[in-house]
């Protein structure tokens, strides 16, 4: 290269200045691609809750005002109102619902056992040759308890459905019960129809209802032990032959065994007409 072709320092600077704008968009494009709002917040924006029907909001506000700290939580799902109260305010919540909120109709009362159980029907398939790999260890954790609408902090919950025949609006009350001694005040003094519902919950779940006129068995024998609707109730028939089991027929004790079909055919008498035909 000749000295004439060598660019001067001024010319090199001008050439660099002309090339600089071509590289600028690359550096300028970096902030555009970076998700600045997400990195600033670190989480997605939660969706706004659905607006609550004004009629249901009145019920929520009234119960919250009357129960104070006994009002634990509320939720509206599919236009239906659920309210969780402290068990100490269980009867008081029913009184307010009936006398002040117009819930004149008692639908039902029952219980829930939220204990997860992987051995329930529909999850196990009977295997005639079980092996250790397919069996669930007795001390294996059963999972996390999820307590449904309006939440919960315990394994057992009692709930009652109330309804207004005038406004055609209903409410479901629920309360957490103690895991070791599930007990709630009886609603029979507020709703007479709660009588046998509480007897059923006492029989099937082992829930005690303070103030009930007479908790006694409805379906089970008086000497029956255990509560069949608890998730940890041992199903002995399932342990002997898990669902769906075999399609067979067990002999009733004291009953003569039925002959095989082949023996029945061999011992069947032949009529004279059939003998003549042969």
pLDDT in tens, 50-87: 678 899 999 999 999 999 999 999 999 988 999 999 99
Output the pLDDT for position 45. Answer: 60
Q: What's the Rg (C-alpha) of the chain?
A: 36
pLDDT band of residue 139 (cuts 50, 70, 90) is: very low
pTM of the model: 0.62
Establish if 78 belongs to a structural domain.
Answer: yes
Give the number of other Cβ atoms within 10 Å of residue 91's Cβ: 20
Instruction: Output the six-digit token pair for 117.
Output: 């159980």
Residue 179, domain CATH: 3.30.460.80
Among 174, 23, 193, residue whose Cα is nearest residue 85: 174
Establish if 29 belongs to a structural domain.
Answer: no
pLDDT band of residue 234 (cuts 50, 70, 90) is: confident
Establish if 70 belongs to a structural domain.
Answer: yes
Question: Does residue 142 carry a pLDDT above 50?
Answer: no
More confident residue, 119 or 192: 192
Establish if 181 belongs to a structural domain.
Answer: yes
Among 217, 212, 218, 210, residue whose Cα is nearest residue 195: 212
Establish if 266 belongs to a structural domain.
Answer: no
Question: Does residue 39 carry a pLDDT above 60?
Answer: no
More confident residue, 93 or 224: 93
The arithmetic mean of pLDDT across residues 233-239, rounded, is 67
Three-state secondary-structure class, residue 242: coil
Domain total of the chain: 1
Contact call for residues 175 and 84 (beta carbons, < 8 A): yes
Question: Does residue 7 carry a pLDDT above 60?
Answer: no
Establish if 212 belongs to a structural domain.
Answer: yes
Sheet containing 170-177, strands listed edge to edge, beginning at the edge strand earlier in sequence: 71-77, 80-85, 170-177, 156-163, 105-113
Establish if 198 belongs to a structural domain.
Answer: yes
Q: What is the pLDDT of residues 211-233, one digit of tens each?
A: 999 999 999 888 888 899 998 88
The arithmetic mean of pLDDT across residues 177-198, rounded, is 97
Instruction: Output the six-digit token pair for 214.
Output: 């007479």
Taking CB atoms within 8 Å and a gap of at least 24, the contacts of 223-231 are 227/203, 228/204, 229/111, 229/113, 229/204, 229/205, 230/113, 230/115, 230/205, 230/206, 231/113, 231/115, 231/116, 231/117, 231/120
Range of the domain at 74: 54-128+142-240
Which of 25-29, 85-89, 118-122, 250-254 is most confident?
A: 85-89
Establish if 82 belongs to a structural domain.
Answer: yes
Output the pLDDT for position 146. Answer: 78
């Amino acid at each position: 290269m000749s000295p004439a072709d060598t660019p001067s320092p001024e010319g090199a600077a001008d050439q660099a200045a002309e090339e600089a704008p071509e590289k600028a968009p690359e550096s300028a494009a970096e902030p555009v691609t970076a998700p600045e709002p997400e990195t600033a917040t670190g989480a997605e924006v939660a969706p706004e809750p659905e607006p609550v029907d004004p009629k249901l909001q009145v019920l929520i506000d009234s119960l919250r005002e009357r129960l104070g700290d006994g009002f634990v939580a509320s939720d509206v799902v599919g236009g239906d109102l659920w309210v969780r109260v402290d068990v100490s305010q269980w009867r008081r919540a029913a009184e307010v619902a009936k006398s002040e909120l117009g819930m004149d109709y008692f639908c039902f009362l029952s219980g829930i056992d939220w204990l997860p159980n992987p051995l329930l029907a529909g999850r196990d398939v009977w295997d005639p040759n079980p092996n250790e790999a397919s069996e669930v260890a007795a001390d294996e954790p059963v999972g996390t308890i999820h307590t449904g609408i309006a939440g919960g902090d315990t394994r057992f919950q009692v709930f009652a459905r109330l309804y207004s025949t005038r406004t055609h609006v209903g409410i479901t009350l629920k309360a957490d019960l103690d895991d070791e001694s599930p007990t709630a005040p009886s609603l029979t003094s507020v709703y007479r129809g709660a009588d046998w519902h509480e007897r059923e919950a006492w029989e099937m779940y082992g829930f005690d209802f303070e103030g009930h006129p007479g908790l006694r068995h409805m379906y089970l024998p008086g000497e029956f032990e255990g509560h069949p609707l608890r998730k940890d109730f041992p199903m002995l028939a399932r342990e002997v032959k898990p669902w769906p089991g075999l399609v067979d027929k067990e002999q009733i004790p004291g009953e003569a065994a039925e002959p095989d079909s082949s023996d029945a055919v061999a011992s069947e008498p032949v009529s004279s007409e059939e003998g003549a035909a042969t």
